[in-house]
Amino acid sequence: MKIVKIEAIPFAIPYVKPLRFASGEVHTAEHVLVKIHTDDGVVGVGEAPPRPFTYGETQAGIVAVIETVFAPQLIGLTLLDRERAQQRLQRTVGNPAAKSAIDIALWDALGRTLNQSVTALLGGYTDRLRVSHMLGFEEPAKMVAEAERMIETHGIRTFKVKVGRQPYTLDTVVVRTLRERFGNEIELYVDGNRGWSATEALQAMREMSDLGLSFAEELCPADDVLGRRWLVDHLDIPFVADESVTTPAEVTREILGGSATALSIKCARTGFTQSQRVHHLAEGLGLEVVMGNQIDGQLGTMCTAVFGAAFSLTSRRAAELSNFLDMSDDLLTDPLEIHDGELVVRQGAGLSVEIDESKLTHYRLDQ
Protein backbone atom coordinates (compact mmCIF):
# COMPACT_ATOMS: atom_id res chain seq x y z
CA MET A 1 0.00 0.00 0.00
CA LYS A 2 3.01 2.29 -0.28
CA ILE A 3 2.73 5.33 -2.57
CA VAL A 4 5.40 5.11 -5.26
CA LYS A 5 4.27 7.64 -7.90
CA ILE A 6 1.88 10.58 -8.28
CA GLU A 7 0.88 11.94 -11.69
CA ALA A 8 -0.82 15.25 -12.51
CA ILE A 9 -2.18 15.16 -16.07
CA PRO A 10 -3.73 18.33 -17.57
CA PHE A 11 -6.58 17.82 -20.03
CA ALA A 12 -9.19 19.96 -21.77
CA ILE A 13 -12.72 19.03 -22.91
CA PRO A 14 -15.04 21.71 -24.38
CA TYR A 15 -18.53 22.37 -23.05
CA VAL A 16 -21.45 22.16 -25.44
CA LYS A 17 -22.58 25.47 -23.96
CA PRO A 18 -20.73 27.69 -21.47
CA LEU A 19 -21.94 28.08 -17.91
CA ARG A 20 -22.23 31.77 -16.98
CA PHE A 21 -22.51 33.14 -13.44
CA ALA A 22 -21.62 36.24 -11.42
CA SER A 23 -17.94 35.41 -10.82
CA GLY A 24 -17.11 34.27 -14.37
CA GLU A 25 -17.94 31.77 -17.08
CA VAL A 26 -16.55 28.42 -18.16
CA HIS A 27 -16.28 27.32 -21.82
CA THR A 28 -13.86 24.39 -21.49
CA ALA A 29 -13.18 21.91 -18.69
CA GLU A 30 -9.44 22.57 -18.28
CA HIS A 31 -8.96 20.11 -15.44
CA VAL A 32 -6.18 17.98 -14.00
CA LEU A 33 -6.41 14.20 -13.57
CA VAL A 34 -4.45 12.95 -10.56
CA LYS A 35 -3.21 9.35 -10.44
CA ILE A 36 -1.67 7.80 -7.33
CA HIS A 37 0.25 4.56 -7.88
CA THR A 38 1.11 2.09 -5.11
CA ASP A 39 3.70 -0.66 -4.90
CA ASP A 40 0.84 -3.18 -5.18
CA GLY A 41 0.05 -1.97 -8.70
CA VAL A 42 -3.12 -0.16 -7.59
CA VAL A 43 -3.93 3.23 -9.17
CA GLY A 44 -6.31 5.70 -7.49
CA VAL A 45 -7.70 8.69 -9.37
CA GLY A 46 -9.01 12.17 -8.59
CA GLU A 47 -10.02 15.23 -10.64
CA ALA A 48 -8.96 18.82 -9.91
CA PRO A 49 -11.09 21.56 -11.53
CA PRO A 50 -9.20 24.87 -11.22
CA ARG A 51 -11.36 27.92 -10.57
CA PRO A 52 -9.00 30.93 -10.71
CA PHE A 53 -11.80 33.46 -10.23
CA THR A 54 -12.84 31.75 -6.99
CA TYR A 55 -9.79 30.09 -5.39
CA GLY A 56 -6.87 31.43 -7.41
CA GLU A 57 -5.78 28.08 -8.85
CA THR A 58 -4.94 27.50 -12.51
CA GLN A 59 -4.43 24.27 -14.41
CA ALA A 60 -0.68 24.88 -14.75
CA GLY A 61 -0.46 25.84 -11.08
CA ILE A 62 -2.18 22.64 -9.96
CA VAL A 63 0.20 20.51 -12.02
CA ALA A 64 3.21 22.44 -10.69
CA VAL A 65 2.28 22.27 -7.00
CA ILE A 66 1.51 18.55 -7.20
CA GLU A 67 4.71 17.69 -9.05
CA THR A 68 7.08 19.95 -7.11
CA VAL A 69 5.56 20.21 -3.62
CA PHE A 70 2.99 17.53 -2.79
CA ALA A 71 4.32 14.46 -4.62
CA PRO A 72 7.77 14.58 -3.01
CA GLN A 73 6.14 14.91 0.43
CA LEU A 74 3.73 11.99 -0.03
CA ILE A 75 5.76 9.38 -1.92
CA GLY A 76 6.83 6.71 0.56
CA LEU A 77 3.75 7.03 2.78
CA THR A 78 1.17 4.24 2.82
CA LEU A 79 -2.51 4.61 2.00
CA LEU A 80 -3.25 4.24 5.71
CA ASP A 81 -1.07 7.25 6.62
CA ARG A 82 -4.03 9.54 5.94
CA GLU A 83 -3.54 11.93 8.83
CA ARG A 84 0.16 12.27 8.07
CA ALA A 85 -0.71 12.95 4.42
CA GLN A 86 -3.23 15.61 5.49
CA GLN A 87 -0.67 17.29 7.73
CA ARG A 88 1.80 17.50 4.86
CA LEU A 89 -0.82 18.80 2.43
CA GLN A 90 -2.22 21.40 4.82
CA ARG A 91 1.11 23.00 5.72
CA THR A 92 1.06 24.49 2.21
CA VAL A 93 -1.51 27.29 2.15
CA GLY A 94 -4.25 27.50 -0.50
CA ASN A 95 -4.37 25.06 -3.43
CA PRO A 96 -7.70 23.47 -2.38
CA ALA A 97 -8.45 21.67 -5.67
CA ALA A 98 -4.95 20.20 -5.90
CA LYS A 99 -5.08 18.95 -2.31
CA SER A 100 -8.57 17.57 -2.76
CA ALA A 101 -7.77 15.60 -5.92
CA ILE A 102 -4.82 13.99 -4.14
CA ASP A 103 -6.95 13.14 -1.11
CA ILE A 104 -9.68 11.63 -3.29
CA ALA A 105 -7.13 9.58 -5.24
CA LEU A 106 -5.76 8.25 -1.94
CA TRP A 107 -9.24 7.12 -0.85
CA ASP A 108 -9.88 5.58 -4.27
CA ALA A 109 -6.62 3.64 -4.08
CA LEU A 110 -7.46 2.50 -0.54
CA GLY A 111 -10.90 1.28 -1.59
CA ARG A 112 -9.46 -0.58 -4.57
CA THR A 113 -6.81 -2.18 -2.33
CA LEU A 114 -9.40 -3.31 0.24
CA ASN A 115 -11.98 -4.19 -2.46
CA GLN A 116 -14.50 -1.86 -0.80
CA SER A 117 -16.41 1.13 -2.15
CA VAL A 118 -15.40 4.53 -0.82
CA THR A 119 -19.03 5.19 0.10
CA ALA A 120 -18.94 2.13 2.36
CA LEU A 121 -15.61 3.19 3.89
CA LEU A 122 -16.98 6.66 4.63
CA GLY A 123 -20.34 5.66 6.04
CA GLY A 124 -22.42 3.69 3.56
CA TYR A 125 -25.79 5.35 4.25
CA THR A 126 -27.47 5.02 0.82
CA ASP A 127 -26.73 4.13 -2.79
CA ARG A 128 -28.32 7.11 -4.57
CA LEU A 129 -28.91 10.85 -4.43
CA ARG A 130 -31.58 13.11 -5.85
CA VAL A 131 -30.11 15.53 -8.42
CA SER A 132 -30.24 19.32 -8.58
CA HIS A 133 -29.44 21.06 -11.87
CA MET A 134 -27.69 24.42 -12.12
CA LEU A 135 -29.20 27.05 -14.44
CA GLY A 136 -26.64 29.65 -15.54
CA PHE A 137 -27.26 33.18 -16.88
CA GLU A 138 -29.50 33.22 -19.92
CA GLU A 139 -32.70 34.77 -21.18
CA PRO A 140 -35.76 33.62 -19.19
CA ALA A 141 -37.22 31.62 -22.08
CA LYS A 142 -33.96 29.70 -22.59
CA MET A 143 -33.67 28.92 -18.88
CA VAL A 144 -37.24 27.63 -18.82
CA ALA A 145 -36.51 25.51 -21.88
CA GLU A 146 -33.43 24.02 -20.20
CA ALA A 147 -35.45 23.20 -17.08
CA GLU A 148 -38.11 21.55 -19.26
CA ARG A 149 -35.42 19.46 -20.94
CA MET A 150 -33.98 18.34 -17.60
CA ILE A 151 -37.41 17.34 -16.32
CA GLU A 152 -38.37 15.46 -19.47
CA THR A 153 -35.02 13.77 -20.13
CA HIS A 154 -33.64 13.12 -16.65
CA GLY A 155 -36.56 13.58 -14.25
CA ILE A 156 -34.73 16.37 -12.38
CA ARG A 157 -37.07 18.61 -10.39
CA THR A 158 -34.70 20.67 -8.25
CA PHE A 159 -32.98 23.70 -9.78
CA LYS A 160 -30.27 26.03 -8.53
CA VAL A 161 -30.63 29.36 -10.33
CA LYS A 162 -27.54 31.52 -10.78
CA VAL A 163 -28.18 35.14 -9.80
CA GLY A 164 -26.02 38.17 -8.97
CA ARG A 165 -26.39 40.41 -12.04
CA GLN A 166 -27.05 44.15 -12.10
CA PRO A 167 -29.75 45.25 -12.08
CA TYR A 168 -30.96 42.47 -9.83
CA THR A 169 -34.31 42.46 -11.63
CA LEU A 170 -32.62 40.54 -14.48
CA ASP A 171 -32.49 37.60 -12.10
CA THR A 172 -35.71 38.04 -10.15
CA VAL A 173 -37.63 37.97 -13.45
CA VAL A 174 -36.01 34.64 -14.34
CA VAL A 175 -36.83 33.03 -10.99
CA ARG A 176 -40.41 34.27 -11.15
CA THR A 177 -40.76 32.98 -14.72
CA LEU A 178 -39.57 29.53 -13.63
CA ARG A 179 -41.99 29.42 -10.70
CA GLU A 180 -44.90 30.59 -12.86
CA ARG A 181 -44.11 28.00 -15.52
CA PHE A 182 -43.68 24.99 -13.19
CA GLY A 183 -45.54 25.98 -10.01
CA ASN A 184 -44.86 23.70 -7.05
CA GLU A 185 -43.75 20.96 -9.42
CA ILE A 186 -40.12 22.00 -8.87
CA GLU A 187 -37.85 23.09 -6.00
CA LEU A 188 -35.90 26.32 -6.52
CA TYR A 189 -32.98 28.00 -4.77
CA VAL A 190 -30.60 30.78 -5.81
CA ASP A 191 -26.83 31.28 -5.85
CA GLY A 192 -25.33 34.76 -6.19
CA ASN A 193 -21.62 33.84 -6.36
CA ARG A 194 -20.97 37.02 -4.35
CA GLY A 195 -22.30 39.19 -7.17
CA TRP A 196 -24.60 41.52 -5.22
CA SER A 197 -24.08 43.90 -2.34
CA ALA A 198 -25.94 43.07 0.85
CA THR A 199 -28.49 45.78 0.07
CA GLU A 200 -29.10 44.53 -3.47
CA ALA A 201 -29.40 40.99 -2.18
CA LEU A 202 -32.05 41.88 0.38
CA GLN A 203 -34.03 43.87 -2.20
CA ALA A 204 -33.91 40.92 -4.58
CA MET A 205 -34.88 38.41 -1.91
CA ARG A 206 -37.85 40.54 -0.86
CA GLU A 207 -39.02 40.64 -4.49
CA MET A 208 -38.83 36.84 -4.54
CA SER A 209 -40.29 36.27 -1.07
CA ASP A 210 -43.49 34.76 -2.52
CA LEU A 211 -41.69 32.24 -4.74
CA GLY A 212 -41.02 29.54 -2.13
CA LEU A 213 -37.24 29.44 -2.42
CA SER A 214 -35.47 26.76 -0.35
CA PHE A 215 -32.08 28.47 0.07
CA ALA A 216 -30.03 31.50 -0.85
CA GLU A 217 -26.32 30.91 -1.45
CA GLU A 218 -23.40 33.38 -1.32
CA LEU A 219 -25.45 36.40 -2.40
CA CYS A 220 -22.78 38.90 -1.31
CA PRO A 221 -19.04 38.75 -0.55
CA ALA A 222 -17.96 37.11 2.69
CA ASP A 223 -15.45 39.89 3.35
CA ASP A 224 -18.36 42.34 3.63
CA VAL A 225 -18.55 41.14 7.23
CA LEU A 226 -21.12 43.51 8.68
CA GLY A 227 -23.24 43.65 5.54
CA ARG A 228 -23.44 39.89 5.33
CA ARG A 229 -24.44 39.49 8.97
CA TRP A 230 -27.10 42.15 8.45
CA LEU A 231 -28.39 40.32 5.37
CA VAL A 232 -28.54 36.94 7.11
CA ASP A 233 -30.42 38.52 10.02
CA HIS A 234 -33.10 39.74 7.60
CA LEU A 235 -33.62 36.50 5.67
CA ASP A 236 -36.24 33.90 6.58
CA ILE A 237 -34.64 31.03 4.62
CA PRO A 238 -31.24 29.35 5.15
CA PHE A 239 -28.22 31.27 3.84
CA VAL A 240 -25.71 28.81 2.37
CA ALA A 241 -21.97 29.44 2.72
CA ASP A 242 -20.01 28.08 -0.25
CA GLU A 243 -16.85 29.85 -1.48
CA SER A 244 -16.42 31.35 1.98
CA VAL A 245 -15.99 27.96 3.71
CA THR A 246 -12.99 26.26 2.10
CA THR A 247 -11.77 24.78 5.42
CA PRO A 248 -13.36 23.54 8.67
CA ALA A 249 -11.97 26.62 10.40
CA GLU A 250 -13.76 28.90 7.94
CA VAL A 251 -16.99 26.99 8.56
CA THR A 252 -16.65 27.74 12.26
CA ARG A 253 -15.93 31.41 11.58
CA GLU A 254 -18.85 31.94 9.20
CA ILE A 255 -21.44 30.08 11.27
CA LEU A 256 -20.49 31.34 14.73
CA GLY A 257 -20.04 34.85 13.31
CA GLY A 258 -23.62 34.87 12.04
CA SER A 259 -22.65 35.11 8.36
CA ALA A 260 -24.34 31.88 7.25
CA THR A 261 -26.85 29.31 8.48
CA ALA A 262 -26.20 26.37 6.10
CA LEU A 263 -23.28 24.87 4.17
CA SER A 264 -22.31 23.67 0.72
CA ILE A 265 -19.82 20.81 0.78
CA LYS A 266 -17.73 20.41 -2.37
CA CYS A 267 -15.40 17.45 -2.58
CA ALA A 268 -13.45 19.25 -5.32
CA ARG A 269 -12.56 21.81 -2.64
CA THR A 270 -12.23 19.74 0.54
CA GLY A 271 -11.63 16.21 -0.75
CA PHE A 272 -13.08 13.40 1.34
CA THR A 273 -11.05 13.85 4.52
CA GLN A 274 -11.70 17.57 5.03
CA SER A 275 -15.29 17.15 3.81
CA GLN A 276 -15.80 14.61 6.60
CA ARG A 277 -14.70 17.22 9.10
CA VAL A 278 -17.01 19.85 7.61
CA HIS A 279 -19.86 17.32 7.70
CA HIS A 280 -19.23 16.53 11.36
CA LEU A 281 -19.22 20.26 12.20
CA ALA A 282 -22.53 20.72 10.38
CA GLU A 283 -24.02 17.72 12.14
CA GLY A 284 -22.91 18.97 15.55
CA LEU A 285 -24.19 22.49 14.91
CA GLY A 286 -27.51 21.34 13.44
CA LEU A 287 -26.91 22.88 9.98
CA GLU A 288 -28.48 21.93 6.68
CA VAL A 289 -26.05 20.80 3.98
CA VAL A 290 -26.12 20.85 0.19
CA MET A 291 -23.65 18.78 -1.82
CA GLY A 292 -22.27 21.32 -4.28
CA ASN A 293 -20.66 21.19 -7.71
CA GLN A 294 -17.47 22.94 -8.84
CA ILE A 295 -18.48 22.49 -12.49
CA ASP A 296 -17.07 18.98 -12.23
CA GLY A 297 -16.64 16.39 -14.94
CA GLN A 298 -18.03 12.89 -14.49
CA LEU A 299 -15.19 11.76 -12.23
CA GLY A 300 -15.68 14.77 -9.93
CA THR A 301 -19.44 14.25 -10.04
CA MET A 302 -19.08 10.65 -8.92
CA CYS A 303 -16.87 11.84 -6.05
CA THR A 304 -19.63 14.18 -4.89
CA ALA A 305 -22.19 11.38 -5.13
CA VAL A 306 -19.91 8.94 -3.30
CA PHE A 307 -19.47 11.31 -0.39
CA GLY A 308 -23.06 12.54 -0.31
CA ALA A 309 -24.43 9.00 -0.23
CA ALA A 310 -22.21 8.07 2.72
CA PHE A 311 -24.14 10.11 5.32
CA SER A 312 -27.74 10.81 6.26
CA LEU A 313 -27.25 14.59 6.48
CA THR A 314 -25.63 14.96 3.06
CA SER A 315 -28.24 12.80 1.31
CA ARG A 316 -31.34 14.67 2.51
CA ARG A 317 -31.23 17.40 -0.13
CA ALA A 318 -30.83 17.09 -3.89
CA ALA A 319 -27.15 17.25 -4.81
CA GLU A 320 -25.64 19.27 -7.65
CA LEU A 321 -24.63 16.39 -9.93
CA SER A 322 -25.63 17.33 -13.47
CA ASN A 323 -23.12 19.83 -14.87
CA PHE A 324 -21.29 17.08 -16.73
CA LEU A 325 -24.34 16.88 -19.03
CA ASP A 326 -23.12 20.08 -20.71
CA MET A 327 -19.68 18.64 -21.58
CA SER A 328 -19.02 17.43 -25.11
CA ASP A 329 -17.22 14.30 -23.84
CA ASP A 330 -15.62 12.83 -20.72
CA LEU A 331 -12.91 10.44 -19.56
CA LEU A 332 -14.89 7.57 -18.03
CA THR A 333 -15.25 4.19 -19.73
CA ASP A 334 -18.80 3.83 -18.38
CA PRO A 335 -20.52 7.26 -18.45
CA LEU A 336 -22.75 8.38 -15.60
CA GLU A 337 -26.51 8.47 -16.12
CA ILE A 338 -29.31 10.31 -14.35
CA HIS A 339 -32.72 8.62 -14.34
CA ASP A 340 -35.92 9.65 -12.54
CA GLY A 341 -34.06 12.57 -10.99
CA GLU A 342 -31.50 10.34 -9.26
CA LEU A 343 -27.87 9.34 -9.71
CA VAL A 344 -27.02 5.86 -8.42
CA VAL A 345 -23.68 5.35 -6.69
CA ARG A 346 -21.91 2.31 -8.05
CA GLN A 347 -20.88 -0.31 -5.52
CA GLY A 348 -17.57 -1.52 -6.98
CA ALA A 349 -14.17 -1.01 -5.35
CA GLY A 350 -12.95 2.54 -4.72
CA LEU A 351 -14.90 5.14 -6.67
CA SER A 352 -16.24 2.42 -8.99
CA VAL A 353 -15.10 4.24 -12.14
CA GLU A 354 -12.40 3.60 -14.73
CA ILE A 355 -10.53 6.08 -16.93
CA ASP A 356 -10.68 5.56 -20.69
CA GLU A 357 -6.96 5.81 -21.49
CA SER A 358 -7.58 6.41 -25.19
CA LYS A 359 -9.74 9.45 -24.37
CA LEU A 360 -7.17 10.68 -21.87
CA THR A 361 -4.50 10.44 -24.58
CA HIS A 362 -6.74 12.43 -26.93
CA TYR A 363 -7.58 15.24 -24.49
CA ARG A 364 -4.40 15.54 -22.42
CA LEU A 365 -2.33 18.67 -22.97
CA ASP A 366 1.15 17.54 -21.91
CA GLN A 367 2.01 15.27 -24.86
Please identify which of the residues 191, 200, 320, 326 carries the catalytic annotation: 191
Please identify which of the residues 171, 242, 243, 320 carries the catalytic annotation: 242
* Ordered alpha helix ranges (H), 47-95: 59-65, 71-74, 82-90
Integer Cα distance of 177 and 180 in angstroms: 5
Please identify which of the residues 108, 160, 266, 296 carries the catalytic annotation: 266
8 Å CB contact between 326 and 17? yes
What 3-state DSSP class applies to 140? Answer: helix
Q: Is residue 191 flagged as an active site residue?
A: yes
Strands, sheet with 24-38, edge to edge from the N-terminal-most edge strand: 3-21, 24-38, 43-48
Integer Cα distance of 39 and 78 in angstroms: 9
8 Å CB contact between 6 and 77? no
8 Å CB contact between 156 and 135? no
Q: Is residue 67 flagged as an active site residue?
A: no
- Secondary-structure breakdown of the chain: helix, strand, coil percentages, each rounded to the nearest 5: 40, 25, 35
Q: Is residue 162 flagged as an active site residue?
A: yes
> HSE-up of 90 (CA within 13 Å, CB side)?
14
Please identify which of the residues 294, 296, 326, 330 carries the catalytic annotation: 294
Q: CA torsion sign, 70 to 327 to 276 to 262? A: positive
Integer Cα distance of 135 and 289 in angstroms: 20
Tell which residue, 55, 49, 34, has the closest CA to residue 102. 34
Please identify which of the residues 217, 218, 254, 296 carries the catalytic annotation: 217
Integer Cα distance of 137 and 22 in angstroms: 8
Amino acid residing at 105: A
Please identify which of the residues 160, 162, 187, 254 carries the catalytic annotation: 162
What 3-state DSSP class applies to 139? Answer: coil
Burial of 242 (0-12, 13-18, 19+ CB in 10 A): buried
8 Å CB contact between 313 and 279? yes
Active-site positions? 162, 191, 217, 242, 266, 294
